[in-house]
A and B are shown apart, each in its own frame.
Chain A
Amino acid sequence: KNQVEQSPQSLIILEGKNCTLQCNYTVSPFSNLRWYKQDTGRGPVSLTIMTFSENTKSNGRYTATLDADTKQSSLHITASQLSDSASYICVVSGGGKTDSWGKLQFGAGTQVVVTP
């Protein structure tokens, strides 16, 4: 069973509107959570990274939140633009000790389409 679940699977929003993507995980112990943006035909690019002690982190119009107690994260896109059309992937790492490897789990992604 995938330890990182994203919802919705896809969504369509009008340009200028806001939207929120969800990520629930069961990875334990937890190290950090990243949101990646993947444009069509390109590799993923990191938007934000959050560790256990961080609740909110922003990158321009993207704001990520993390609730480590409930193991939930969200990515909020404000005033969407056509260039926001992409797949957004939640990635959780955990279990690794210093200078070693733990595990990395990818969500299946949320496909966002912004229409004019």
Chain B
Amino acid sequence: DVKVTQSSRYLVKRTGEKVFLECVQDMDHENMFWYRQDPGLGLRLIYFSYDVKMKEKGDIPEGYSVSREKKERFSLILESASTNQTSMYLCASSPLLTGTSGWDNEQFFGPGTRLTVL
């Protein structure tokens, strides 16, 4: 089974702190994603990566950065946390299948990190 793990289930930080959220997948997937999920808004894509050291902005990248130094690990960084970044953060991975659009392939999600910024 595909397994996507996230470093923390719950995290509480203070405004202005630098926050690191880690995600690791064990299926050798090329693609990895970071989403945030808020009530009534659904999942929104922050960043994604289709290869080591490659990254692409999603719909809401402001206030976030990412790092992908190894294929299995994708990190989300909040340079200076703010209260409006309080949310559930979900990491996902998917395989790269040639002959398809990048979004065609099933994404496998981690359990999420509920981040509260005070």
Taking Cβ atoms with an 8 Å cutoff, the residues of A that contact B are 2, 4, 31-32, 34, 41-46, 49, 89, 93, 95-104, 106-109
- Starting from the known contacts A93-B101, A98-B101, 5 additional A-B residue pairs (CB-CB under 8 Å) come to A43-B109, A98-B99, A99-B99, A106-B42, A106-B44
28 pairs of residues in contact across A and B, judged by CB atoms under 8 Å: A2-B42, A31-B103, A31-B104, A32-B104, A43-B4, A43-B90, A43-B108, A43-B109, A44-B43, A44-B90, A44-B109, A46-B106, A89-B42, A93-B101, A93-B104, A95-B101, A96-B102, A96-B104, A97-B101, A99-B101, A100-B102, A101-B56, A101-B101, A101-B103, A102-B101, A103-B103, A104-B45, A106-B42
Q: Is the CB of B42 within 8 A of A102?
A: no
| A49 with B103: CB separation less than 8 A | no
Hey, which chain B residues are within 8 Å of A2, CB to CB? 42
Interface assignment of B81: CB less than 8 Å from any CB of chain A = no
Interchain CB contact under 8 A, A107 and B42:
yes
Is the contact region of chain B dominated by helix, strand, or loop, or is it mixed? loop
Give the 4 A-B CB pairs with smallest separation, nearest first: A96-B101, A43-B109, A93-B103, A101-B102
- Interface bits B74-118 vs A (CB < 8 Å: 1, else 0): 000000000000000010100000111111101111111000000
Which residues B4-44 have CB closer than 8 A to chain A? 4, 9, 40-44
CA–CA, A32 to B4, complex, Å?
Answer: 24
Instruction: Find out whether the CB atom of B98 lies under 8 angstroms from the CB atom of A99.
Output: yes
A43, A49, A89: which contacts B92 (Cβ < 8 A)?
A43
Report the minimum CB–CB distance from B4 to chain A (whole Å): 7
* Distance in angstroms between the alpha carbons of A43 and B108 in the assembled complex: 8
Residue of A nearest to B50 (CB): A101
In the assembled complex, how far is the CB of residue B26 from the closest CB belonging to chain A, in whole angstroms? 15
CA–CA, A3 to B100, complex, Å?
A: 22
From A43, A46, A109, name the one whose CB has the most chain B CB atoms within 10 angstroms: A43
